[in-house]
Chains A and B, each alone.
Chain A
Amino acid sequence: MELQRFPGGVHPEEHKSQSASRPIHAAFVPRKLVLPMRQHIGQPAKPVVKVGDHVLKGQTIAEADGYVSVALHAPSSGTVTEIGLASVPHPSGLPDLCITIETDGRDEWAARTPIDWRNTDPAALRGHVRDLGIAGLGGAVFPSSIKLDPAGGPPIHTLILNGGECEPWITCDDRLMRERAEDILEGARIMQHLLGAERLIAGIEDNKPEAIAAMQAAAQKLGLTIEIAAMPTIYPGGGGKQITKTLTGLDTPSGGRTTDVGVQVFNVGTSYALARAILHGEPLISRIVTITGHVLRPQNFEVLIGTPMSELLLHAGERDGTTGIIMGGPMMGFDVPDMDVPVVKATNCVLAKSKELFPPKPRELPCIRCTQCVPVCPAKLQPQQLYWFARAKDLGRAQEYHLFDCIECGCCSYVCPSHIPLVDYYRYAKSEIWAREKEKRLADTARDRHEFRLFRMEREKKEKAERLAAKAQSKKAEAPALSTPEQDAKKKLIQEALARAQAKKAAVAPKNTDNLPPDKQAEIAEIEARRAKIVEIAKQPVEPEQH
């Protein structure tokens, strides 16, 4: 097969040998598992267990909420002790909704049912994929069930198994391919079936010869037709668009996805998880995590989702002088807010930092427009211009210059001689644009709803007038007396209800005593007046409530 070179890219020091030489360490069961609901892209999962429930390993504890969502399962047996906010691995450092499970050490499985995928309707099969919690394990954690749905786009002719693993330090896919290649290929077979892709290619960077050999051997054993390509080692060769270019020569359109050119890309870890789920009925409750950097024994671990990173660190031999943890690799990863955050589905690497390995960054200088960032950008952007616009908060121009084609690979930050954290600026600009779009949408709905309300009130007024006119015609005499008794009755009702509420309020909320009943009475009288001309109320400037 002829390989093509994607544009841009850099080649940082690899640091892979540290962790790649040891086999995958079997999973251990920590005392406590913390499972965030938001581990994938899309709607967070919805908890279906209560505090105090006993759960078995593999039991669903939260279900997919909508189409773009996946379910979540108990990684080990135990008791649900808490459902609430806890700290999660996220660059914001904000807590999020999590289910905490106190494990019982028995690690008792719930019933597992393998699925006969060849004889299952594709839609149902995708439903299983979703309910078994499968999301992209390469780092993007996009629900796999959606990526496996070929409908609504051009037909998928090629399925790429992504064994690029281009980030420095990380070796989890490398070890997985060396040790569990057969399962990976079994998973690929299911994916190929669902997508209807004719061609199956595995792209593996040429710094992993053992993995390539293992995959080739497994393919032969299974009799699977797959092209296995040794790609040159260039970061970010494992990016979706980049690997597509390398292996098929196809250029993904700007602003589009690889599926636009008929290529779907799955990480080898995802393929493995899919095989375990469909063929063995094991939902996604563990994954391979590289733990490396400033630790005594860098190694890959099979880790239960929800295991606190600090425990992982202990297992790999914590060292003095650890200054923090990066989740993911040094190019695209982020600092986690504290060491106790759990491993999630997206965690491919736990990288312990020290002053020596990750010295504090030198001070940032102004951009000198040296354009060293330009040739390394895999999206062929002009990073220095994007930076200029993002810094000036000129979001419109940034978007015009294809900000959203930036894959945040960090190549530009890596080479910048002025040490500008360029990606931080792009992330800021992107999330600001998203926030503004959201605000705009909300304002638009508010406008629509307000306009509808005005229309409704207009209509009601008209109807009422018509009704009154009709009534007046039929009962000419009674009409004038109508309003007073009705109003009185209403007033009385409200007062009664008010008294009840007041009593209740005193009982449930004794703090709120600054409003005495007499004031209230007067207020109600006013309310009656206001009620008739509710539109006028809206015209009056409202004093902020003082409590």
Chain B
Amino acid sequence: MLTAILVMAGIAIALGAVLGFAALRYKVEGDPMVERIDAILPQTQCGQCGYPGCRPYATAIAKGEADINLCPPGGEDGVKKLAELLGVEPKPLDETHGVTKPKSVAYIQEDLCIGCTLCIQACPVDAILGAAKQMHTIIASECTGCELCVAPCPVDCISMVPLQEDLGSWKWKYPVFRLKQVG
């Protein structure tokens, strides 16, 4: 009896030591949860979730302050991935924060632009080029489609153009599995 207890206690102590050592040895710097959530968020930086960018939202989720269904650009897919990561039930997107739209890029109608630089200051990823009183242009490849530059423009010369599928971005479609179709 006594030996059994001793053996059990010994095992427990040994395991505890191993775990403790591992915890020290493999300690991760920073908060990996925030990183992992941030990796799922689409990085559109649009603020529709109610936070000034994706990372603050990620931090809020990690702290349990925010729900997982607030990010419209991420869409249902994003919610699903977050749910999986956090081990909770996925839920439908909260539509009060906006709806998922096809990916677009901003386009500046350049002959109307007055060079006010307001859009430059709004762009979260510095994707607009231009100097004061000069025409501005969007670097389409960097634009995340956040729409933040649209509202500030005093002359309404920025519009969002949905990205068209072309040969470069075309994908093979999921083959239709015709099992159920009668015929």
Taking beta carbons and an 8 Å cutoff, which residues of A are in contact with B? 38, 88, 90-92, 94, 96, 363-366, 391, 393, 421, 424-425, 427-428, 430-432, 434-435, 442-447, 449-454, 456, 494, 497-498, 500-502, 504-505, 508-509, 512, 515, 520, 523-524, 527, 530-531, 534-535, 537-545, 547
Does B29 count as interface, using CB distance less than 8 angstroms?
no
* Contact status B48-A539, CB under 8 Å: no
* Contact status B150-A497, CB under 8 Å: no
Show 14 residue pairs from A and B whose CB-CB distance is below 8 angstroms, ordered by the A residue. A421-B175, A431-B171, A445-B125, A446-B43, A446-B144, A450-B54, A452-B126, A497-B116, A501-B155, A505-B157, A509-B109, A535-B52, A541-B50, A545-B150
- Residues 163-183 of B contacting A (Cβ, < 8 Å): 165-175, 177-179, 183
- Residues 86-131 of B contacting A (Cβ, < 8 Å): 97-98, 101, 109, 111-116, 118, 121-122, 124-127
Given contacts A94-B167, A538-B47, contact A527 B155 (CB under 8 A): no
Residue of A430, A524, A538 ringed by the most chain B CB atoms within 10 A: A538
Residues of chain B within 8 A of A509, CB atoms compared: 109, 112
Residue of B55, B133, B152 ringed by the most chain A CB atoms within 10 A: B152
Given contacts A508-B112, A509-B109, contact A523 B154 (CB under 8 A): yes
* Contact status A530-B47, CB under 8 Å: no
From B47, B98, B115, B144, contact of A497 by CB (8 A): B115
Residues of chain B within 8 A of A524, CB atoms compared: 154
Residue of A38, A502, A541 ringed by the most chain B CB atoms within 10 A: A541
* Contact status B124-A430, CB under 8 Å: no
Please list the 4 inter-chain residue pairs (A to B) with the smallest Cβ-Cβ separation, ordered nearest first.
A497-B114, A449-B125, A446-B43, A443-B43
Q: From residue B58, how far is it (CB to closest CB) to chain A in Å?
A: 10
Query: CA of A424 to CA of B173 in the docked complex: distance in angstroms?
Result: 8
Closest residue of chain A to B158 (Cβ to Cβ) is A545
Does B53 count as interface, using CB distance less than 8 angstroms?
yes
Query: CA of A531 to CA of B154 in the docked complex: distance in angstroms?
Result: 12
Q: Sort chain B's interface into a size bin.
A: 35 or more
* Contact status A90-B142, CB under 8 Å: no
Taking beta carbons and an 8 Å cutoff, which residues of B are in contact with A? 38, 41-48, 50-55, 97-98, 101, 109, 111-116, 118, 121-122, 124-127, 133, 142, 144, 146-148, 150-152, 154-157, 159-160, 165-175, 177-179, 183
Q: From residue A430, how far is it (CB to closest CB) to chain B in Å?
A: 7
Query: CA of A91 to CA of B45 in the docked complex: distance in angstroms?
Result: 35
Given contacts A497-B114, A512-B156, A527-B118, contact A541 B47 (CB under 8 A): yes
Q: From residue A488, how far is it (CB to closest CB) to chain B in Å?
A: 16
Residues of chain A within 8 A of B178, CB atoms compared: 363-364
* Contact status B126-A425, CB under 8 Å: no
* Contact status A90-B47, CB under 8 Å: no
Given contacts A363-B178, A523-B154, A534-B121, contact A505 B144 (CB under 8 A): no
Given contacts A515-B156, A541-B97, contact A450 B53 (CB under 8 A): yes
Interface SS of chain A: helix, strand, loop or mixed?
helix
* Contact status A541-B118, CB under 8 Å: no
Q: From residue B117, how far is it (CB to closest CB) to chain A in Å?
A: 9
* Contact status B166-A94, CB under 8 Å: yes
Query: CA of A535 to CA of B121 in the docked complex: distance in angstroms?
Result: 9
* Contact status B175-A544, CB under 8 Å: no
Query: CA of A502 to CA of B154 in the docked complex: distance in angstroms?
Result: 10
Residue of B52, B170, B172 ringed by the most chain A CB atoms within 10 A: B172
From B124, B151, B155, contact of A498 by CB (8 A): B155
Given contacts A94-B165, A443-B42, A542-B48, contact A449 B126 (CB under 8 A): yes
Q: From residue B59, how far is it (CB to closest CB) to chain A in Å?
A: 14
Given contacts A443-B42, A494-B114, A535-B52, contact A545 B155 (CB under 8 A): no
Q: From residue A127, how far is it (CB to closest CB) to chain B in Å?
A: 25
* Contact status B148-A530, CB under 8 Å: no
* Contact status B166-A508, CB under 8 Å: no
* Contact status B51-A539, CB under 8 Å: yes
From A432, A443, A527, contact of B171 by CB (8 A): A432
Residues of chain A within 8 A of B127, CB atoms compared: 449
Query: CA of A149 to CA of B145 in the docked complex: distance in angstroms?
Result: 40
Query: CA of A151 to CA of B126 in the docked complex: distance in angstroms?
Result: 38
Residues of chain A within 8 A of B175, CB atoms compared: 421, 424-425, 428
Query: CA of A504 to CA of B135 in the docked complex: distance in angstroms?
Result: 14
Residues of chain B within 8 A of A523, CB atoms compared: 154
**A-B contacts besides A494-B116, A494-B154, 15 pairs, CB < 8 Å:** A88-B167, A363-B178, A428-B172, A432-B172, A445-B125, A446-B144, A450-B124, A453-B124, A497-B114, A505-B155, A508-B111, A512-B156, A515-B156, A538-B52, A542-B48
From A432, A445, A545, contact of B147 by CB (8 A): A545
Closest residue of chain B to A457 (Cβ to Cβ) is B121
Residue of A442, A535, A543 ringed by the most chain B CB atoms within 10 A: A442
* Contact status A541-B38, CB under 8 Å: no
Query: CA of A530 to CA of B117 in the docked complex: distance in angstroms?
Result: 13
From A92, A427, A445, contact of B142 by CB (8 A): A445
* Contact status B53-A541, CB under 8 Å: no
Q: From residue A407, how far is it (CB to closest CB) to chain B in Å?
A: 15
Given contacts A508-B112, A541-B47, contact A498 B152 (CB under 8 A): no
Residue of B114, B160, B166, B179 ringed by the most chain A CB atoms within 10 A: B114
* Contact status B125-A498, CB under 8 Å: no
* Contact status B152-A527, CB under 8 Å: yes
Residues of chain B within 8 A of A391, CB atoms compared: 177
Closest residue of chain B to A421 (Cβ to Cβ) is B175
Residues of chain B within 8 A of A542, CB atoms compared: 46-48, 146-148, 150-151
Q: From residue B62, how far is it (CB to closest CB) to chain A in Å?
A: 16
Given contacts A445-B142, A539-B52, contact A534 B122 (CB under 8 A): yes
Query: CA of A515 to CA of B154 in the docked complex: distance in angstroms?
Result: 11
* Contact status B115-A537, CB under 8 Å: no
Closest residue of chain B to A507 (Cβ to Cβ) is B111
Given contacts A94-B166, A391-B177, contact A541 B48 (CB under 8 A): yes
Closest residue of chain A to B99 (Cβ to Cβ) is A544
Residues of chain B within 8 A of A541, CB atoms compared: 47-48, 50, 97-98
Closest residue of chain A to B133 (Cβ to Cβ) is A497
* Contact status B159-A547, CB under 8 Å: yes
